[in-house]
Amino acid sequence: MRGTDWRMTRTTANAQPAAVAYTRTDGAYRLHTLQVFTVTPNGIARNVVFQDPKVFSAFGLPPILE
């Protein structure tokens, strides 16, 4: 992720913590990625990143943050 104009929201996926990243484009925050974390006692062990619009749709993620 490049730049500094991002917004993140929390969610879950398959009972794991996840984050949704939005980047500012053309004056609006547009959906960029869904990131799912595998957390262990030592911290985040894995981060799986999805950029597929079909995945976004399956999770009901808004394409633009209001």
State pLDDT tens for residues 16-36: 999 999 999 889 999 999 999
Instruction: Identify any residues that bridge with 28 across adjacent strands, giving them in sequence order.
Output: 25
Instruction: Provide the number of structural domains found in the chain.
Output: 1
Residues 6+ apart with CB under 8 A from 55: 34
Domain around 43: 6-65
Q: Is the pLDDT of residue 51 over 80?
A: yes
Mean pLDDT across 26-48: 96
Task: Return the HEC string of the chain.
Answer: CCCCCEEEEEEEECCEEEEEEEEEECCEEEEEEEEEEEEECCEEEEEEEECCHHHHHHCCCCCEEC
1 assigned to some structural domain: no
Q: What is the pTM of this model?
A: 0.85
Name the band, by pLDDT with cuts 50, 70 and 90, for residue 1. Answer: low
25 assigned to some structural domain: yes
14 assigned to some structural domain: yes
